[in-house]
Amino acid sequence: MEIKTHIINKVKIAEVIAEHCVINNVDDGLDLLGNVYYQGFDQVIVHEKNITADFFVLKNKIAGDILQKFSNYRMRLIIIGDFSKYNSNSLRDFILESNKGKQVNFLPSLSDVITVL
């Protein structure tokens, strides 16, 4: 896993670059959060391919538990990917509501991050 640094509007953002799944469970999410938090990052970008597919099944509560950790530490989380492949109305609604706020955003590409910030 590599952490790529982006500075956008004076905000230090960590982009997680990896070929494998980095967040398999809540503990992995907390480890990542702690890692980037203590390196002085304000926000973190994770690609959808680096998060377990279970995260996108809301009934198992993995997403809620991980996002609560990021919220507690006031660390903004941006997840980049193609979420149209998930056939869940609940997930679609969750993504729409999340994107209205500033704590968690689901975006299609890295270039969209600049627009949101």
pLDDT tens digits for range 70-104: 999 999 999 999 999 998 999 999 999 999 998 99
- Residue-level pLDDT at 117: 73
E strand spans, the chain: 2-8, 11-17, 43-47, 76-80, 104-107
Q: Compute φ and ψ for 11, nearest 5 degrees.
A: -105, 130
- Provide the whole-model pTM: 0.93
CATH topology of domain 2-116: Protein-Tyrosine Phosphatase; Chain A (3.90.190)
